[in-house]
Amino acid sequence: MPAQPQTGPVAGRLPADTLARNFADLHSPLSAHEARVAADRCYFCHDAPCVTACPTEIDIPLFIREIQAGRPETAAREIFEANILGGMCARVCPTEVLCEGACVREAAEGKPVQIGLLQRHATDSLMARQGHPFTRAARTGKRVAVVGAGPAGLSCAHRLARHGHDVVIFEGAPKPGGLNEYGIAAYKSVDEFAAREAAWIMEIGGIELRHGQWLGGEITLETLRDEYDAVFLGIGLSGVNALGLDGPKVEGMHDAVTFISALRQCEDLSTLPIGRDVVVIGGGMTAIDCAVQAKGLGAETVTLVYRRARERMGASRFEQDLAAQRGVRLIFEAAPVAVEGEGRLSGVVFERMGEGSEGLAPTGDRFTLPADQMFRAVGQRLGDASGLKTVRGKVVTQGSGRTDMDKVWAGGDCGVGGDDLTVTAVAQGRDAAEDIHGTLTD
């Protein structure tokens, strides 16, 4: 029997105080005393596996030793030397599968050193001070265009400015930050941290930020190559993949990226409408962020459905457990095949999936979940590639981000090596900047 029609999304399902609790900082920052105690647990390994596990290769034992000695700001400088977005990465990195997952304490005791919280303690301490920790080298007279003010673009721009190059960042959105500003759960980065971090990064000087500039629209790659000595593309992924479901065209079907962006920019969460029965399709961090926040806004039931087994999910086990703790139901090995409803979504039909010799295949066993709102979080795709060589929807790069086009580098999610992590984008932006600097000063 078809699911009964629902009333549809409405605003103000929860009172203001409940919303404030639901979207409070996911991890409380450490006090100075707590940081010293946490730092004391580090073995300060000579061949530290945590460093190898970090895409930006921060010298983790060194910065933790500085915290242990009561010098968090010195620790922060060590962090920022490798990762200028170390403050955000301390908040959003999946440390449980990166540095903390590789920690010797984790292997021995099942309780790693709190590297992420220690990094946040150090970086917050330094950023609270007046003045930028780095100074520019003498101006080189070279000009570099950076397209995209996300993690990769900001990282690249900062490193180039340190080397004395003049940088212009072209950004389509009203605010800088990219994924950090528009694409992560609100409870992971509170108090406008993404915007404050971007402004702090540009205090180095030599960086001009131009908004409302989209590649393929207001600017073209051909023009940028003519006017600048080098170009770095950190444009991310703009489109959201479709599901191609059977059934009528109904209201209530959305993409998770747009939902998260709207929530991140909303000043009053009580004005955001949310359904009573919400279904989220996907298995990555975006799917988790969407599901948890839908529940936080007051949805009565939120069900996240992923087509493969739990261990194949892109989201870490910590994120999966967080969703379950917040009241999200997780269903694995099921794929959506159709929607139901008359004018408005009332249900989503799924088919059980099985892993066979030829890969994932439907089993013929179907079930229907009541739903008045559905979000798809099944991956994004590249927008304007501007004639660059691509594979599987991403720009092909060699070495430190060099593309097949002269004077053009790329990094972050838009590149083949991007993996939807802020820390990876930071590393690629930084490394591309070093390669650009070497090319411009040969």
406: Cβ–Cβ under 8 A, 6 or more apart, which residues? 225
**CA distances for 360 relative to 245, 287, 335, angstroms:** 18, 20, 10
- What integer pLDDT is reported at residue 79 of this predicted model? 98
Which helix H or strand E contains 350, and what residues bound it? strand 344-356
Same-domain pairing of 320 and 374: yes
pLDDT value of residue 7: 67
183 and 221 inside one domain: yes
23 part of a folded domain? no
What's the confidence (pLDDT) of residue 416?
Answer: 86
C-alpha 171/C-alpha 152 separation (Å) is 12
Please classify residue 244 by burial: count the beta carbons closer than 10 Å to its beta carbon, then call 0-12 exposed, 13-18 middle and 19+ buried.
Answer: exposed
Residues 268, 199: Cα–Cα separation, whole Å: 24
Nearest CA to 430 out of 196, 118, 86, 49 is that of: 86
Residue 39's CATH number: 1.10.1060.10
Strands 143-147 and 373-376: unpaired
- Select from 335, 350, 380 the last residue of a domain: 380
Residue 379 confidence (pLDDT): 75
Per-residue pLDDT of the chain (442 residues; tens, 9 = 90+): 444 445 689 999 999 999 999 999 999 999 999 999 999 999 999 899 999 999 999 999 999 999 999 999 999 999 999 999 999 999 999 999 999 999 999 999 999 999 999 999 999 999 998 778 999 999 999 999 999 999 999 999 999 999 999 999 999 999 999 999 999 999 999 999 999 999 999 999 999 999 999 998 999 999 999 999 999 999 988 767 777 787 788 999 999 999 999 999 999 999 999 999 999 999 999 999 999 999 999 999 999 999 999 999 999 999 999 999 999 999 999 999 999 999 999 999 999 999 877 788 999 999 999 999 999 998 777 776 778 998 888 999 998 999 999 999 999 999 988 778 999 999 999 999 999 999 999 8
246 and 370 part of one domain: yes
Structure tokens at 231: 């170009």
- One domain, residues 48 and 120: yes
pTM, to two decimals:
0.94
13 domain residue, yes or no: no
Task: Give the pLDDT of residue 402.
Answer: 96
Burial (Cβ within 10 Å: 0-12, 13-18, ≥19) of residue 425: buried
Residues 104 and 165 in one domain: no
The domain in which residue 423 lies consists of: 143-238+382-440
Nearest residue to 360 (alpha-carbon basis) of 307, 316, 402: 307
- The arrangement of strands across the sheet holding 373-376 comes to 253-255, 373-376, 277-281, 301-306, 328-332
User: CA 215 to CA 234: how far, in whole Å?
Assistant: 11
